[in-house]
């Protein structure tokens, strides 16, 4: 039975990947940075799934790492990262650089030395910065505009440097992922409106994103993992439809049947106004989107 190491398994996307692959009959090594986050993940697993999973606790900012037994690992899905765009300030530069670039180097080097069959690296749509037109493709030049985007791009380059030495890799770039349990713009708007609290919107609310459901991300990773045609390729995992912050406020307040209380403020870090990629390349792999944001807001968000 194949064994997958999922780094960042305690995070939002990682925890969905763990459950997705266990259900497919795969053995998992789930990584997290602390005992607490690993215990939290363990507590969300169904009893019958516990036998399919081992855990690896390692802070990737530590100098010395204790690796698990790599001779038993077939694939690596590397999602662990510093992920908050607004936290990516000058004060946090070292953390973002060390996690998104240096930790990726340590792991990719180990994957190469241990002949891992496929190393899937999670990057981000933020590596493109402001593209010349929308929807943009995988070949669009990458010019990030914030520290998060720059350090994610460095992570990609690190992976590429090992590819030349023989690492079989694929770069997957999610775009604004949503789903139950995610702390993001959707859950924040929902909570504020639900509690009749003031909702602060940075900018004028017309900035938009092509949201992608986490189940769709798991499906596409499932397709990529066993496909040797994906070696050396990069895939933009974007949604197909754009929603502005104001659209989200409208959809959520309608679903809750409440009137939002909004304050608009100036954004503090460079953020993108739009982010929408062409999805032809992933759809050519046979992947089809199953989830809809409207249905999620209506049926799942407050269930
Ligand atoms: N969610 C999105 O919309 C989105 C969009 C584009 C790209 N991505 C990319 O997708 C990947 C997963 O994102 P996510 O939303 O699931 O992120 P997340 O919920 O913030 O999870 C981050 C993961 O990284 C781990 N991590 C953080 N600091 C660490 C450290 N010092 N040492 C070791 N591990 C550490 C966390 O482990 P602990 O919890 O155990 O500390 C957690 O498992 C990331 O690479 C991100 O850049 C996500």
Domain ranges for the chain, please list them.
3-178+210-237, 185-208+241-275+291-300
Reported as a pLDDT band with limits 50, 70 and 90, residue 268 is low
Superfamily (CATH) of domain 185-208+241-275+291-300 = UDP-galactose 4-epimerase, domain 1 (3.90.25.10)
Q: Rounded to the nearest 5°, which phi and psi values hold at 278?
A: -70, 135
The two structure tokens encoding residue 20: 């997705």
Number of other residues whose CB lies within 10 A of the CB of residue 268: 9
d(CA 241, CA 245): 13
User: Is-contact 243 209, C-beta < 8 A?
Assistant: yes
**CATH topology agreement for domains 3-178+210-237 and 185-208+241-275+291-300:** no
Reported as a pLDDT band with limits 50, 70 and 90, residue 220 is very high
State the pTM of this model: 0.96
d(CA 216, CA 287): 9
Look at 8-17, 46-55, 224-233, 277-286 and tell me which has the smallest mean pLDDT.
Answer: 46-55
Closest-CA residue, ligand 1 atom 13, reads 13
pLDDT tens digits, one per residue of 168-183: 999 999 999 999 999 8
Ligand 1 pocket by Cβ (under 6 Å): 8, 10-14, 32-34, 37, 59-61, 79-81, 83, 99, 122, 124-125, 152, 174, 176-177
Q: For a substitution probing ligand 1, which of 37, 38, 77, 83 has the most ligand atoms within 8 Å of its CB?
A: 83
What's the per-residue H, E or C state across 27-96?
EEEEEECCHHHHHHHHHHCCHHHHHHEEEEECCCCCCCCCCCCHHHCCEEEECCCCCCHHHCCHHHHHHH
Place of tokens 């990629």: 277
pLDDT at 266: 87
Which numeric CATH code is attached to 3-178+210-237?
3.40.50.720
Closest-CA residue, ligand 1 atom 41, reads 33
In this predicted structure, the answer to whether residue 49 has a pLDDT above a threshold of 90 is no
The Cα-based distances of 201 to 248, 252, 253, 266 in angstroms read: 11, 15, 15, 8
The Cα-based distances of 10 to 14, 29, 81, 145 in angstroms read: 6, 11, 11, 28
In this predicted structure, the answer to whether residue 157 has a pLDDT above a threshold of 80 is yes
Count Cβ atoms within 10 A of the Cβ of residue 189 and give its class: 0-12 exposed, 13-18 middle, 19 or more buried.
buried
pLDDT at 70: 94
d(CA 26, CA 24): 6
d(CA 67, CA 272): 37
Q: Which residues of 145-156 are buried (b: 16+ CB within 10 A; e: fewer)?
A: ebbbbbbbbbbb
Q: Which residues contact 111 (CB under 8 A, 6 or more apart)?
A: 76, 119, 162, 167
């Amino acid at each position: 039975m194949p064994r997958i190491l999922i780094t960042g398994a305690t995070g939002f996307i990682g925890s969905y990947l763990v459950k997705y692959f266990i259900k497919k009959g795969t053995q998992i090594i789930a990584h997290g940075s602390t005992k607490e986050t690993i215990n939290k993940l363990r507590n969300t697993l169904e009893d019958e799934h516990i036998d399919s999973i081992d855990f690896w606790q390692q802070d990737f900012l530590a100098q010395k790492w204790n690796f698990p037994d790599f001779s038993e690992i077939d694939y690596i899905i590397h999602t662990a990262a510093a992920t908050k765009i607004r936290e990516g300030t000058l004060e946090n530069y070292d953390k973002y650089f060390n996690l998104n670039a240096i930790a990726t180097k340590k792991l990719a080097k180990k994957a190469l030395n241990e002949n891992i069959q496929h190393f899937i690296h999670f990057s981000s749509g933020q590596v493109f910065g402001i593209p010349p037109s929308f929807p943009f493709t995988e070949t669009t030049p990458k010019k990030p505009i914030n520290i998060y985007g720059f350090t994610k791009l460095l992570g990609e380059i690190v992976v590429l440097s090992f590819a030349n030495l023989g690492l079989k890799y694929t770069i997957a770039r999610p775009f604004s992922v949503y789903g139950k349990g995610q702390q993001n713009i959707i859950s924040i708007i929902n909570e504020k409106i639900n509690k009749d609290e003031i909702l602060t919107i940075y900018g004028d609310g017309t900035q938009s994103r092509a949201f992608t459901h986490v189940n769709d991300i798991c499906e596409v990773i499932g397709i990529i993992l066993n496909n040797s045609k994906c070696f050396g390729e990069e895939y933009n995992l974007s949604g197909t439809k754009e929603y502005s912050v104001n659209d989200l406020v409208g959809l959520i307040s309608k679903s809750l049947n409440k009137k939002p209380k909004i304050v608009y403020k100036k954004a503090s870090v460079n953020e993108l106004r739009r982010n929408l990629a062409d999805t032809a390349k992933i759809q050519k792999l046979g992947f089809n989107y199953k989830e809809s944001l409207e249905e999620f807001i209506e049926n799942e968000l407050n269930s």
